[in-house]
């Protein structure tokens, strides 16, 4: 049973518009959440993270929102650029688990010029 | 040069063969990991090591073994490969936790694509 779920395998957005990628989790022990981006033929790279003590973290065009009561987080990219086209993985970890990351299945974002 | 290097990048082998995937890193990190990526399943942890003498099973360790030859080297072996081990394999590293600070950041290699016929 997947503890971190990304229910949208793909998302297409027009350049300049907002991209919203969603992630749900089931394990209430998760207290740290991350987003990774992956281009073809490359390894995933860290994008942004958020601790459960916060509900928002912003880094340039990227903002992650956390709704603990709904066990939901989202990544907003504004404005979207063609170079943002990649697979985005949501990941989560819990204290006491040696901080292992549990990954979602990924969402392929395509930003159309 | 990449900070986390995986070899080989691509490998095709036959059922029953022994295969080894190697990973080396120049980041000076203590922690190393092996993940596999399958379509629709994301990244799943196979094994991880917090130092040379510390090896731990991950979510899907059956059919795999690892060796931490040095701080910078962590290899993954399939003793007798089977077709459902066809996947993209990633090595990753992370720095040790500093007190309660957790960056969560893993540094990944470029991946090793393994096909078992």
Task: Note the pLDDT tens digit of each residue in A27-84.
Answer: 999 999 999 999 998 999 999 999 999 999 999 999 999 999 999 999 999 999 999 9
Strand partners, B66: B76
Of A36, A43, A49, the CB nearest to B111: A43
**Distance, CA of B104 to CA of B117 (rounded, Å):** 36
Residue A44: count of CB within 10 angstroms of its CB: 27
Residues of B with CB under 8 A from a CB of A: 4, 35, 40-45, 48, 50, 56, 58, 90, 92, 97, 102-111
Cα-flanking dihedrals φ and ψ of residue B83, to 5°? Answer: -55, -35
pLDDT above 80 for B99: no
Chain A residues inside the 8 Å CB shell of B50: 98
Q: Name the closest residue on chain B to residue A89, using Cα atoms.
A: B42
Can you tell me which residue has the tokens 């030859």? B69
With H, G, I as helix, E, B as strand and everything else as coil, classify residue B54: strand
pLDDT at B98 over 60: no
Helix then strand count (H, E) for chain A reads 0, 11
- State the nearest Cα–Cα gap between B78 and chain A, in angstroms: 21
Q: Give the Cβ contact number of residue B71 at 10 Å.
A: 14
List A110's β-bridge partners, or say none: A12
Question: Could you tell me if residue B99 is left (phi over 0), alpha (psi between -120 and 50 degrees) or otherwise beta?
Answer: left
CA distance B114 to A96: 33
Q: Do A89 and B42 touch (CB under 8 A)?
A: yes
pLDDT at B40: 82
3-state secondary structure of A2: coil
For the segment B31-57, the average pLDDT, to the nearest whole number, is 92
Residue B104: closest CA among A5, A44, A23, A100: A100
A109 — pLDDT class (breaks 50, 70, 90)? very high
B43, A34: Cβ pair inside 8 Å?
no
Mean pLDDT value across chain B: 91
Residue A112: band (very low, low, confident or very high) from pLDDT cuts 50, 70, 90? very high
Closest partner CB to A32 (pick from B35, B92, B102): B102
Task: Give me the mean pLDDT over the B43-56 stretch.
Answer: 92
DSSP character string of B71-101: TTEEEEEESS--GGG-EEEEEEEEPPPBTTB
- Phi, psi dihedral angles at B84 (to 5 degrees): -80, 5
Phi, psi of A85 (to 5 degrees): -60, 115
Q: Which residues contact B66 (CB under 8 A, 6 or more apart)?
A: B34, B46, B47, B49, B55, B74, B75, B76, B77
pLDDT(A96) > 70: no
Note whether A43 and A90 are within 8 A (CB): no
Q: How far is A3 from chain B (nearest CA, A)?
A: 11
Tokens 């500093």 correspond to B98
Rounded to a whole number of angstroms, the distance from the CA of B30 to the nearest CA of chain A is: 13
Confidence of residue A94 (pLDDT cuts 50, 70, 90): confident
């Amino acid at each position: 049973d997947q503890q971190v779920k990304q229910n949208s395998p793909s998302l297409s957005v027009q350049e300049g518009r907002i991209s919203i990628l969603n992630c749900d989790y089931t394990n209430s022990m998760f207290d740290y959440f991350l987003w990774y981006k992956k281009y073809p033929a490359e390894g995933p790279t860290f994008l942004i993270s958020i601790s459960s003590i916060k509900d928002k973290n912003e880094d340039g065009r990227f903002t992650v929102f956390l709704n603990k009561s709904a066990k939901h987080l989202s990544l907003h990219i504004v404005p979207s650029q063609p170079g943002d086209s990649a697979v985005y993985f949501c990941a989560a970890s819990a204290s006491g688990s040696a901080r292992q990351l549990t990954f979602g299945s990924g969402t392929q974002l395509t930003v159309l010029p | 040069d990449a900070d986390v290097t995986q070899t080989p990048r691509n490998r095709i082998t036959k059922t029953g063969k022994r295969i080894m995937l190697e990973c080396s890193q120049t980041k000076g990190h203590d922690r190393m990991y092996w993940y596999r990526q399958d379509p629709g399943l994301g990244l799943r942890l196979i094994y991880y090591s917090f130092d040379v003498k510390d090896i731990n099973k991950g979510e899907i360790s059956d059919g795999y073994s690892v060796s931490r030859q040095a701080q910078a080297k962590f290899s993954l072996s399939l003793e007798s490969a089977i077709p459902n081990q066809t996947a993209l394999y990633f090595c990753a590293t992370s720095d040790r936790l500093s007190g309660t600070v957790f960056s969560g950041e893993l540094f990944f290699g470029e991946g090793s694509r393994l096909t078992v016929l």
